[in-house]
Amino acid sequence: MITPQTIEQIKSRIDIIDVVGEYVKLKKRGSNYIGNCPFHNEKTPSFTVSPVKELYKCFGCGKSGNTITFLMEHDKLSYVEALRWLANRYNVEVEETETTPEQKQFVQTADSLYIINSFAQKFFEDKLFNTEEGQNIALSYLHERGFRQDVLKKFQVGYNPNNRDELAKALLQNQFNKEFLPRTGLVAVRNETELVDNYRGRIIFPIHNNSGKIIGFGARVIGKADRAPKYINTPENEVYVKSKILYGSYFARLAIDKADECLLVEGYTDVVSLHQAGIENVVASGGTSLTTDQLRLVKKYTNNLTIIYDGDAAGIKAALRGLDMALDESLNVRLVLIPDKEDPDSYVNKIGATAFREFVAGNKKDFIIFQLEVMLKEAANDVQKKSDVTNSIAQTLSKISKAEDFTKLQDYIRQCAGLLRIDEGGLTNLVNKYKRDKIAKDEKKQPSFEDINQFHEGEQPEDVLDDHALLISQDEAFERNILRVLLEHGLKPWDETQSMAQYIFSELEQFHFDNNQLENIYNEYRRQYEQGLEPTAKSFLYNEDENIKNLVVAVTMLPFELSPNWDEVLEGMNIVNRDVSHTDVSMSVNYYKLRKIKKMLEENQRDMEHAPMDELMKLIAVHKDLKEIERLLTKELGTVIIR
């Protein structure tokens, strides 16, 4: 594991504007920076980055965190990978402590696989371009297919010779650990101990992760495959998980971002051919069914996905898989079918880059409408099958649930009702039924703290909170505000004898938080303070507990700040000192206490209704004391009404 000292050194050098600015175009506004959120599609910027607090918060989708969590969320990195990325960027030498045997084994294996794959890629590339066998068999075939040498080198394409164990011998001669070799898929074990090459006589396409490291290979036969499979791919291991990979994403990511569209094809050669034609915003699924992780990888760069598949039955079936997942990820999906007996690779070579671009632009089919047309064709005149089609398309449409997609949903309902030849209102009712079924299912679950947190930020939760949850959220607002002023002002002096933190602790000694998470942070702050430390919002932002980090962001990042003209306003009011921390702390503490007193009064009132006479007199006395405290607090705050 990375040592705490190294982690602290990395944190001390982090510049959140520098890092986030690589992914988001930021514009300064007041003391913060704003831009369009990279985690959801928006036209009006709601993504705010605070260099002072070293955190980000989107007031549209609710995503928030620090520089490390940004890299983890945006680039899908692990915590350790994000730290290593930052260490490399800021030239911090990484020191590591002892890890568990399992963790140590995993890291060692992963590092070994990366090194072996890198060696193998160079071996394959050398065999393709610098050997007689590679040039005569593989390179000549690739040239016949129209691939240029510069593009082949860009994608680091290579060739594995026909010899039984040429790569295996090279790996062993370079003293690579024999135990790790079979995990790469490059070699196979025969007769228990003998190692032989697994990709003999095949063209090799290295597969890169988002940082450019080679994590696996696709090995293609030369010419047509008879008995052998056309492709052999790396087996899943510590670094290669096929459901999370899109071939070519490392080379396409900038082009996808620039074009605001991702083209998805099936094969490796499709990607290389389109890149050669100057169409670089393209990736491949590698012939596997689309997965949620792959769709989220696309969504990192764009919300617009155009699937380009063969026009035969198999291509159509493959294209339709994953539609509901794409809708769940709020992707705008279009479909382009290449004419039968062609694929993107052969078609772009046949008609040229310009004509191919025009073909794609002119033949994009709406995914949902296309799916409906295919299902209706299969149903023919079967009444039951048509009924199933109607239910299926209504269920698909019900997944379009975001408020900003309302117009799109209505247009889909209109078009689908026309194709189904049913009443538009009836289809609307059916779609709404599926929506209600989902809500009813979700409402059986207790609302999470994140739901209440979203409600607090002025955001309508996806699922309607019940009255009990709303009541809790109202109480929680005062508790959150106490935590906010403690984190922001706690270390400042209250007077000559105590700090603001000490003032808050003494004033709230007799009270407790209803929300356990908030109370835990409050108590942890107090513990650190009383140990002589100087806790701040920043120190909590890098806590290992994800809930604590999210909560601290929520209570310290607000969707507004002082107007840039606020200085002029203050001068006009003859106010020179802008430090309002005393007022902020005092009012926050008093409002908190007033809310708690009112709750105690309500509880006391309920107890009085059913109390016997001897208990009633005690409760009346308590009620009188509470009312007096309420009066004093109200007087100090001015006329306030808390519901």
Domain ranges of the chain: 4-89, 101-238, 241-363, 384-444, 467-637
Q: Residue 613 has what pLDDT?
A: 62
Asked if the domains 4-89 and 241-363 are classified in one and the same CATH topology, the answer is: no
Q: Residue 220 has what pLDDT?
A: 93
Q: Where are the alpha helices (DSSP H) in 449-573?
A: 449-456, 467-489, 500-507, 516-530, 537-541, 546-556, 566-572
Give percent of the chain above pLDDT 90. Answer: 26
Q: Residue 311 has what pLDDT?
A: 66
Q: Are 517 and 32 in contact (CB under 8 A)?
A: no
Q: Is the pLDDT of residue 155 over 50?
A: yes
Q: Is the pLDDT of residue 570 over 50?
A: no
Nearest to 114 by CA among 251, 178, 207: 207
Is the model more confident about 624 or about 318?
Answer: 624
SS3 638: coil
Q: Residue 474 has what pLDDT?
A: 56
Q: Residue 322 has what pLDDT?
A: 65
Residues 451, 554: Cα–Cα separation, whole Å: 12
Residues 466, 472: Cα–Cα separation, whole Å: 10
In which band, very low, low, confident or very high, does the pLDDT at 448 lie, cut at 50, 70 and 90?
A: very low
Token pair for residue 56?
A: 């980000």
Taken in order 117, 123, 129, 135, the sign of the CA dihedral is negative
Nearest to 535 by CA among 516, 548, 517, 554: 548
Nearest to 30 by CA among 10, 52, 12: 52
- Partnered with residue 231 across adjacent β-strands are 220
Q: Is the pLDDT of residue 452 over 50?
A: no
Residues 213-225, mean pLDDT to the nearest whole number: 89
Q: Residue 566 has what pLDDT?
A: 43
- Partnered with residue 220 across adjacent β-strands are 203, 231
**Which residues fall within 8 angstroms of residue 136, CB to CB, at 6 or more apart?**
none
Q: Residue 576 has what pLDDT?
A: 46
**Which residues fall within 8 angstroms of residue 287, CB to CB, at 6 or more apart?**
231, 266, 267
Residues 562-582, mean pLDDT to the nearest whole number: 52
Q: Is the pLDDT of residue 561 over 90?
A: no
Helix axes 546-556, 467-489, angle to 10 degrees: 80
Nearest to 412 by CA among 439, 433, 394, 386: 394
Q: Residue 597 has what pLDDT?
A: 76
- Beta strands 304-310 and 262-265 are parallel
Token pair for residue 477?
A: 């607002």
Residues 467, 458: Cα–Cα separation, whole Å: 17
Range 101-238 classified under CATH 3.90.980.10 = yes
- Partnered with residue 479 across adjacent β-strands are none
Q: Is the pLDDT of residue 275 over 90?
A: yes
SS3 231: strand
Phi, psi of 157 (to 5 degrees): -70, 145
Q: Residue 467 has what pLDDT?
A: 37
- Beta strands 55-58 and 64-65 are antiparallel
Q: Is the pLDDT of residue 445 over 70?
A: no
Q: Residue 470 has what pLDDT?
A: 37
Is the model more confident about 437 or about 219?
Answer: 219
- Dump pLDDT digits (tens) for 311-325: 666 656 666 666 667
Class of domain 241-363: alpha beta
Is the model more confident about 158 or about 613?
Answer: 158
Residues 160, 145: Cα–Cα separation, whole Å: 19
Residues 549, 536: Cα–Cα separation, whole Å: 12
* Lookup result for tokens 């928030």: 64
Q: Are 295 and 304 in contact (CB under 8 A)?
A: no
Nearest to 184 by CA among 235, 222, 241: 235
Token pair for residue 625?
A: 């004391």
Q: Residue 137 has what pLDDT?
A: 94
CATH dotted code for 4-89: 3.90.580.10
Mean pLDDT of the chain: 80
Residues 372-391, mean pLDDT to the nearest whole number: 90
Neighbour-count burial for 88-114, b at 16+ CB within 10 Å, e otherwise: eeeebeeeeeeeeeeeeeeeebeebbb
Taken in order 601, 607, 609, 614, the sign of the CA dihedral is negative
Residues 484, 490: Cα–Cα separation, whole Å: 9
Residues 400-409, mean pLDDT to the nearest whole number: 71
Q: Residue 354 has what pLDDT?
A: 93
Q: Is the pLDDT of residue 125 over 60?
A: yes
In this structure, the number of other CB atoms found within 10 A of the CB of residue 575 comes to: 11
Is the model more confident about 168 or about 449?
Answer: 168
In which band, very low, low, confident or very high, does the pLDDT at 453 lie, cut at 50, 70 and 90?
A: very low
Q: Residue 463 has what pLDDT?
A: 38
Amino acid at 28: K
Is the model more confident about 172 or about 637?
Answer: 172
Determine which of 354-363, 497-506, 601-610 has the lowest per-residue pLDDT on average.
601-610
Neighbour-count burial for 140-150, b at 16+ CB within 10 Å, e otherwise: eebeeebbeee
Is the model more confident about 611 or about 499?
Answer: 499
**Which residues fall within 8 angstroms of residue 443, CB to CB, at 6 or more apart?**
463, 464, 466
**SS3 assignment for 393-407:** HHHHHCCCCCHHHHH
Q: Is the pLDDT of residue 199 over 90?
A: yes
- The CB-based long-range contact list for 370-379 (8 Å cut-off, 24+ gap) reads 370/320, 370/335, 371/320, 371/323, 371/396, 372/416, 372/419, 372/420, 373/419, 374/316, 374/320, 376/419, 376/420
Amino acid at 46: S
Q: Is the pLDDT of residue 471 over 60?
A: no
Nearest to 286 by CA among 301, 302, 273, 271: 271
Q: Is the pLDDT of residue 152 over 80?
A: yes
Strand ranges for 267-425 from DSSP E: 282-284, 304-310, 332-338, 365-366
Residues 311, 288: Cα–Cα separation, whole Å: 17
SS3 50: strand
In which band, very low, low, confident or very high, does the pLDDT at 254 lie, cut at 50, 70 and 90?
A: confident
Cα distances from 5 to residues 14, 93, 96, 107, 531, in angstroms, run 15, 11, 10, 20, 20
In which band, very low, low, confident or very high, does the pLDDT at 638 lie, cut at 50, 70 and 90?
A: low
Q: Is the pLDDT of residue 551 over 70?
A: yes
- Partnered with residue 197 across adjacent β-strands are 187
Determine which of 12-26, 30-44, 521-535, 559-573 has the lowest per-residue pLDDT on average.
559-573
Torsion-angle region of residue 247: left (phi > 0), alpha (psi -120 to 50) or beta? beta
Q: Could you tell me the end-to-end alpha-carbon distance of the chain, in angstroms, rounded to an integer?
A: 50
Q: Residue 596 has what pLDDT?
A: 78
SS3 1: coil
